[in-house]
Structure 1
Amino acid sequence: MVHIRNIALPDFPLLLAPMEDVSDPPFRAVCKEGGADLMYTEFISSEGLIRAAAKSRQKLDVFDYERPIGIQLFGSDVETMGECARISTEAGPDLIDINYGCPVKQVACRGAGAALLRDIPKMVEMTSAVVKATHLPVTVKTRLGWDDSTKNVEDVAERLQDVGIEALTVHGRTRVQMYKGEADWDLIGRIKNNPRIKIPIFGNGDIDSPQKAVEYKNRYGVDGVMIGRAAIGYPWIFREVKHFNATGELLAPPTVEERVQACRMHFEKSLEWKGPRAGVFEMRRHYAQYFRGLEGARQWRTRLVDTNDPAEIHAIMDEIIAAEPVLVG
């Protein structure tokens, strides 16, 4: 088993990446059902949390069926991050995660997320403040470095372990790369094989198939992998990786009924958590992914996004099952 202090995870655990505007409780519910072993909230702005901004406060919502679940924080001020760790602890997660990897301008240009990769002493100070502010395990997600000339994640891993983090996830790109190009896992493997490193090391980046997940496990020796974009509309990626890792065989793709059941569960949780108006509206971004590759998928999606009536949406989903569309791509 893999342990993050008192959190016991299975061998080669699969983590759901925290994705802004995606990894909310409804999405996490279907991924947990699909086999995710550890999940995180969307990242939460420390400044927003201190101001008691409604959106930031709502992101603190965690539920027992999600456990183990981590709350992920980002910010640029050391003292504020410590205070937010205390607030987040009161929400009852299993761990606190710090985001040092987000590359988007509105985060990095404010000195948060991946920007801390250009100021390692401040990153260490901030991490230490968060560790001291909570009794929960603290983990970190980061990148290889700011750019190709500053791939400093090996040093970062040692220094953050020294101030008390209990697991590290590394995305195999620099901030400058954003999400372009192929993720480079060589440094991730070197961190895992560093004899000084005693904490679990999880790899992230381009894990989009069971074969790749197991190949990277064997090649780089990571304790587990974090999956992000490949899980959007396809929560079965987790069970498929687990089955392939255990047997070397690929599972059959989900049936039409399984796709509709997962989409319906996501929709119902969305209504429950966000309310009928926002729940219907924000679910629209997910239909294309759930029904991708099915014959007639475009017409189903068009009908689903053109209505605001939950009963009609359920009826359309019933029609999809009855039509038994074939997988064409």
Structure 2
Amino acid sequence: MKIGNVELQNKVFLSPMAGVTDLPFRLICKEHNCGMLYTEMINAKALCYDDENTKKMLKIEDEEHPVAVQIFGSDPQYMGRAAEIMNQYPNEILDINMGCPAPKVVKNGDGSALMKNPKLAEEVLKAVVKNSTKPVTLKIRKGWDDDNVNAVEIAKIAEASGISALAIHGRTREQYYSGKADWDIIAKIKESINIPVIGNGDVFTVEDAKNMIDKTNCDAIMIGRGAQGNPWIFERINHYMQTGEVLPEPGCEEKISTAIKHLGLAVEEHGEYIAVREMRKHIAWYLKGLRNSARIRDEVNKIESYEEVVAKLNNYKADALTLG
């Protein structure tokens, strides 16, 4: 798998997710053979204004590569300048967000709202491609709503504008994450353009990944919610693609040990106060489906110290192993 001049070892990627795909989570996913990591989305305007919090989100470790940084905005000038700034950073790929459904993003005409204005979208794409020394990719949705499905039109504009690969989430903005992702739109885009197409939406299992590739003929898969509390999904899909064998799901011990490791990385990166709070959602995802997990989750949500969270999880793991 190749995007522009960037060689990728496999074709199972981590989707950019605000508040989720920070450095600690990316490192965990990389350990489990994720083919390409995406950062949280970066506000192009904030980057241009040298915002400190934005720069912190751009920290990339040597062991992460290859990494795609995703920027968002709808002003071609700011987006072009952001691309220029990103030339100094060590990421291999620069990605443009045209899929975020969040109200605070779309109210400014950014994210998936940009799909409603193909002419402006084209100006943004061309400005970023012109100013970037790296391959530029694009992430879109099916369209704004069922009456405005224009993913194929945007995909063709993207290819003509010099975009190196396109990721498509098979839902409209109006759907957010509800209902079912439409994989037919991924197949239509794959037939309509010649650059690599990355399918996204409703890949939660090894079988889902196989079905998406079979149904859409996409070149790669991007996993978002399916990786939350489940970084093993990357190695399990890759193993299946190579051997046809489905590896067993991780057990309770491995899930809790990984949650503790993830928490440690988060404390290193963000400090104890922020990390313990930010990790509550991740811990809930890791524990999902395990015995008595709701009780442990509620208890963890009230704890404010790293040591106490670790002790709570280790006790839970010991109890689970005793009970078998």
TM-score of the alignment, normalized to the shorter chain, above 0.5? yes
Give the residue type in structure 1 aligned to 2:243.
Answer: T
Q: Report matched runs for 1:140-219 at 5 Å.
A: 140-194=138-192, 197-219=193-215
Identity across matched positions, percent: 38
The SS at the match of 2:310 is helix
In structure 2, the partner of 1:236 is 232
**What is the CA-CA distance between 1:326 and the residue it aligns to?**
8.7
For 1:111 and 1:307, locate their aligned partners in 2 and report how far apart those are by CA, in whole Å.
Answer: 39
Mapped partners of 1:100, 1:274: distance in 2: 28
1:54 is matched with 52
SS in 1 for 2:147: helix
Which of 264, 270, 290 lines up with 1:294 in the alignment? 290
After TM superposition, where is structure 1 displaced by more than 6 Å over at least 4 residues in a row? none
Secondary structure of 2:138's aligned partner: strand
Q: Per-residue CA shift, 1:127-175, capped at 9, x if unaligned?
A: 1111111101100000112222222221221221111111100010111
Amino acid at match of 2:2: H
Deviation of 1:316 after TM superposition, in Å, equals: 2.5
Aligned residues of 1:295 and 1:325 also touching (Cα < 8 A): no
Could you tell me how far 1:278 is from its partner in structure 2? Answer: 0.8
Contact 1:89 1:96 in 2 (8 A): no
The equivalent position to 2:254 in structure 1, one of 258, 265, 278, is 258
Aligned to 2:308: 312
Q: CA deviation at 1:95?
A: 1.0
Given the alignment, which residue of 281, 286, 290 partners 1:285?
281
Query: Which has the higher mean CA deviation after the structures are superposed, 307-316 or 219-228?
Result: 307-316
Deviation track 1:253-291 (CA, whole Å, cap 9, x = no partner) reads: 112221122112211110111112111121112111111
Is 249-258 or 203-212 further displaced after alignment?
Answer: 249-258
After TM superposition, list the pairs within 5 Å mapping 1:5-84 onto structure 2.
5-10=4-9, 13-84=11-82
Contact kept? 2:183, 2:215, Cα under 8 Å = no
- The one-letter code of the counterpart of 2:73 is G
Aligned partner of 1:135 in structure 2 is: 133
Q: Which runs of 5+ in 1 are unaligned?
A: none
SS in 2 for 1:234: coil
RMSD: 1.8
Aligned residues: 324
SS at 1:148 equivalent:
coil
- Which residue identity is paired with 1:22? V
- What letter is aligned with 1:286? H
1:295, CA displacement in angstroms?
A: 1.6
Q: Do the aligned partners of residues 327 and 107 (structure 1) sit closer, same or farther apart at CA in structure 2, a change above 3 Å counting?
A: farther
Task: Give the TM-score normalised by the residue count of structure 2.
Answer: 0.95
Take 2:262 and 2:171, find their aligned partners in 1: how far apart are those partners? 30
Equivalent residue letter for 1:4: I
CA distance 1:326–1:82, change in 2 (3 Å): farther
Asked if the contact 2:4/2:164 (under 8 Å) is kept, the reply is yes
Q: Kindly indicate whether the alpha-carbon contact (under 8 Å) linking 1:17 and 1:40 is maintained by their aligned counterparts in 2.
A: yes
Equivalent residue of 2:172, what SS?
A: coil
Normalised by the length of structure 1, the TM-score is 0.93
Offset from partner CA, 1:23-66 (integer Å, 9 cap, x none)? 11111111111221111110011122223333222111111111
